[in-house]
Homo-oligomer: A and B are copies of this chain.
Amino acid sequence: MTTNQLIQNIQKKKSFLCIGLDVDLDKIPPHLLQKEDPIFAFNKAIIDATHQLCVAYKPNTAFYEAYGLKGWKALEKTINYLNENYPEIFTIADAKRGDIGNTSSMYAKAFLEDLGFDSVTVAPYMGKDSVEPFLAFEDKHTILLALTSNEGAFDFQTKTVDGKELYKQVLETSKTWSNSQNLMYVVGATKAEYLADIRKIIPDSFLLVPGVGAQGGNLQEVCKYGMNSNVGLLINSSRGIIYASNKEDFANQARYKALELQQEMEAILHK
Which residues of A line the B interface, CB within 8 A? 22, 60, 62-63, 65-66, 68-69, 72-73, 76, 96-101, 103-104, 106-107, 109-110, 114-115, 123-131, 145, 148-157, 159-162, 166, 169-170, 173, 215
Contact = CB atoms under 8 A, between A and B. Distances in A.
A156 B129 contact: no
A156 B60 contact: no
Given A63-B106, A106-B66, A97 B100 contact: no
A103 B153 contact: no
Given A123-B96, A155-B127, A155-B128, A110 B69 contact: no
Given A130-B152, A160-B162, 5 more contacts: A22-B103, A66-B109, A68-B76, A96-B123, A123-B123
A233 to B, nearest CB: 19
A60 to B, nearest CB: 6
Q: How many copies does the complex hold?
A: 2
Nearest to A115: B68
Nearest to A103: B62
9 contacts: A62-B97, A63-B103, A98-B123, A100-B149, A127-B151, A127-B156, A129-B151, A156-B173, A159-B169
A161 B129 CA distance: 22
A50 to B, nearest CB: 21
A258 to B, nearest CB: 21
Nearest to A121: B99
A123 B123 CA distance: 8
A157 B173 CA distance: 13
A163 B6 CA distance: 42
A81 B68 CA distance: 17
A120 to B, nearest CB: 11
Contact of A97 (B63, B96, B148, B157): B96
A60 B130 CA distance: 14
Residue with the highest number of chain B CB atoms closer than 10 Å, among A72, A152, A169? A152
Contact of A128 (B63, B152, B160, B170): B152
